[in-house]
Amino acid sequence: MKIILTAIEYEILKYIQQRGIIKTDLRERSTGTHEGVHVESFDIISKLGIQEHEVIKILHSLKDNGILHFKSDVHRFDPSEYFYIWKIASNININDFVTYSNIINYNIENSIILKVLDILKQDKHLSILHWKDFEKLICNLLTAENWQVQHIGKPHDNGVDIEAKFSDDTLGEIISLWQAKKYKSTHKVEVHHARELSGVADRYRATKAFLVTTSQLTRDAKSWIQDDKYRLGYKEHTDIVKWINRVKP
């Protein structure tokens, strides 16, 4: 039977599998609360970009679902250290886990990939991302396809959020420029943005310039870009989801 997990759950279990066990310290601090809860030797926390209390919550949820156990010789708090010691249940095979998280194997440093995978798994729209995270997502997708990426994204960036370079044996050096529009699904990218994209391609002499959005382009905006399809391109929400699926190992 397949076990469906979020990407973060998968990474936590994979971490435990690789290291055997982990400990969670539940000792009360001077405040008399559990605010000081931490996970011992769990360096994946910084890589995942999540808080320690979130890890504790996930560990307990996995235990309630029969996926995690306490280590066999520890069935309660250690009386001297107040540690829970966790391990994967003996009847659980990590190969039975179903998750989108395989995409992150090449670049676990950036937690935005985890966020996006969980968003898609929950059938939510990418527009719930912060605009900075959306730009980081595009950077990661380009990096996965071996582009050399520079994330420019800042105020007054002259219409260029991302610069990506690629060296092709036949064509030589290729440079693409990316303008990201993190909009709600009901807010379409207008034709004036497409016209601005033409100016960006001219100004920087790019091989190709792209509009990429969590929404869609208007018919006029698409028409403008398609009329100059060798220099301009675009990717809408559905294209980005396909892109994510395409770069899965």
The tokens describing 45, both together, are 């926390």
pLDDT the model gives residue 115: 72
Closest CA to 247 of 132, 141, 148, 146: 141
> Which has more confidence, 31 or 7?
7
Taking all residues of the chain, what is their mean pLDDT, rounded to a whole number? 75
- Predicted confidence (pLDDT) at residue 224 exceeds the cutoff of 70: yes
**Contact by Cβ (8 Å): 175, 164:** yes
Least confident range of 15-29, 118-132, 235-249: 15-29
- 107-112 mean pLDDT: 50
Quote the pLDDT of residue 222. 97
The runs of H, that is alpha helices, within 157-236 are 191-204, 219-226
Phi, psi of 244 (to 5 degrees): -60, -45
Residue 34 has pLDDT above 50, yes or no: no
Residue 219 has pLDDT above 80, yes or no: yes
Cα separation, 137 vs 79, in Å, equals 45
Residue range 70-85: mean pLDDT, rounded: 48
Cα 165 to chain centroid distance, Å, stands at 22
Provide the pLDDT confidence category of residue 221 given band limits of 50, 70 and 90: very high
52: three-class secondary structure by DSSP: helix
Which residues fall within 8 angstroms of residue 68, CB to CB, at 6 or more apart? 13, 16, 59, 62, 86, 87, 88, 89
In this prediction, residue 82 carries a pLDDT of: 45
List, edge to edge, every strand of the sheet that includes 232-235.
148-151, 162-168, 172-181, 208-213, 232-235
Q: Going from the N-terminus, what domains does the chain have, and what CATH number goes with each?
A: 3-98 (1.10.10.10), 110-246 (3.40.1350.10)
pLDDT at residue 46, as a whole number: 57
Q: What does the pLDDT look like over 194-217, one tens digit per residue? A: 999 999 999 999 999 999 999 999
Identify which of 19-23, 67-71, 205-209 has the greatest average pLDDT: 205-209
- Whether the predicted model's global pTM rises above the 0.85 cut: no
